[in-house]
Amino acid sequence: MDNLAEKRVLIAGGSGGIGGALSRFFAKQKAHVIVQGKSSNASRLVKNIVTKGGSAESWEYDFDTPDALGNFEKLLRKHLPIDILVLAYGPLLSLTLPDMNAQDWEHIVLHNLSLPGILLSVCVSGMAQRRWGRVFLFGGTQVQSKGYRDIVGYEAAKAGISVLIKSVARTFAAQGVAAYGFYPNYVDTEYVSAAQKDQWKHNSRYGRILNKEDIVDTVSWVLKAPVHVINGVLFSLRPWGIKEMGE
């Protein structure tokens, strides 16, 4: 793994769940971690990181406020450079296609596709100029496109993540920038009820689900890979193993 000391990491959705686990992981690697979250959880996590000798700051920022994405872009431009960009965020609407209205579509696309696009537009050129950068975007539940009954909008918007990942790799790999997409299925986090976890385990082929440490271990493994060998890859993460989907 490259030395991450003094690297600056932005984790959107970094105050809990998968994002929180990755915030702690990068802090342990001596990177400076910017933890974005919409609640005081971000500040509490940062306090915990700093107490343990890490370097971090919290951005308590709510993407649901008016003009949130445009204002966040302005905020981000004032805090460049960003060396590692992580998106562990994306609201899910469990609605059928006929049930979604214009407001639902606007909300789901802004948060799940426009936001990662904005983050990349702001950060990736600086990574290329410094000839080092890593991008980790978390997509939907499946790498390959398929039909859905009740999460159509979410999966449709998240499908665009694959285009963003492969575009960054195609354009900036020669400048030392690598981008990866992660598509986890069932993950045990503090946001999931015990009943839901039991149901997921019942549905799982091997009677288990992923935990946050599985995700962190996968990111750590990818960080060790040479950019010219693994780049622009979409990883389908399942309890029975990792399925890599390249071009």
CATH of the domain at 34: 3.40.50.720
Q: Is residue 160 part of a domain?
A: yes
The identity of residue 96, as a single letter, is T
Report the DSSP beta bridge partners of residue 183. 236
Q: Kindly tell me the sign of the dihedral angle through the C-alpha atoms of 137, 224, 239, 237.
A: positive
Do the domain assignments include residue 3? no
What integer best gives the mean pLDDT of the chain? 89
Q: What is the pLDDT of residue 247?
A: 43
8 — pLDDT class (breaks 50, 70, 90): very high
Give the domain range for residue 216: 8-245
Check whether 245 has a pLDDT greater than 60.
no
List the structure tokens of 228: 């010219």
User: Is residue 142 very low, low, confident or very high in pLDDT (cuts 50, 70, 90)?
Assistant: low
For residue 195, is it within any domain?
yes
Is 211 inside any structural domain? Answer: yes
In a domain, 1, yes or no: no
pTM of the model: 0.91
Whether the CA torsion 175, 228, 223, 157 is positive or negative: it is: positive
Neighbours of 162 (CB within 10 A): 20
Q: Which stretches does DSSP call E strand in the chain?
A: 8-12, 32-37, 55-60, 84-87, 133-138, 177-184, 187-188, 210-211, 233-238, 241-245
Structural domain count of the chain: 1
Looking up tokens 């082929």 gives 205
Say yes or no to pLDDT of 239 above 90. no
Does 129 map to a domain?
A: yes
* Residue 2 within a domain: no
When mean pLDDT is compared across 4-8, 78-82, 113-117, 191-195, the lowest value belongs to: 191-195
